[in-house]
Amino acid sequence: MDQTLQQALDQLDQASAAVRLAVRNLANAPGGADAAGDAAHALSGGAIDPFVFRFAIFVLAIFVGYYVVWSVTPALHTPLMAVTNAISSVIVVGALLAVGIAASGIAAGFGFVALMLVSVNIFGGFLVTQRMLAMYKKKDK
């Protein structure tokens, strides 16, 4: 059991390193997705709108995320939940900034809605994580 768990953890580390490398390469590219969208627009002679290209990247990211999360070994679901809670807490900072420095009421409204949704996600995630950890505790008889 310990060897299987260690192998799963090693696979998760390798996958996360590959994702971090891909994100770092995209972020360090001049313009990132904007440059890729503009290049596709130019190469196709204007037939591909940059928005469509960016939307395609977004849809592909959804599928990749879905398959990465659902291929995780059940023993790693609790650590995965803890990581997603940490990511959501970073999103809270962005939502607070959107509410605080918004130039218009619409932007402040969207920032507030984002803040509420992320708060529900964080607290719900912690409740689910706590419940999952309680399943591993030995029961007193």
At 59-85, the pLDDT tens digits run 888 888 888 777 777 767 667 767 777
The verdict on 1 and 65 lying in the same domain is yes
pLDDT over threshold 70, residue 26: no
28 plus 59 within the same structural domain: yes
Tell me the per-residue pLDDT of 87-105, one tens digit each, with 9 for 90 and over. 777 778 877 887 888 778 8
Domain count, the chain: 2
pTM: 0.43
Q: What's the CA angle centered on 25, arms 19 and 28, to 5 degrees? A: 135
CA distance 2 to 33: 41
Does 59 lie in the same domain as 11? yes
- In this structure, the answer to whether residues 109 and 51 fall within a common structural domain is no
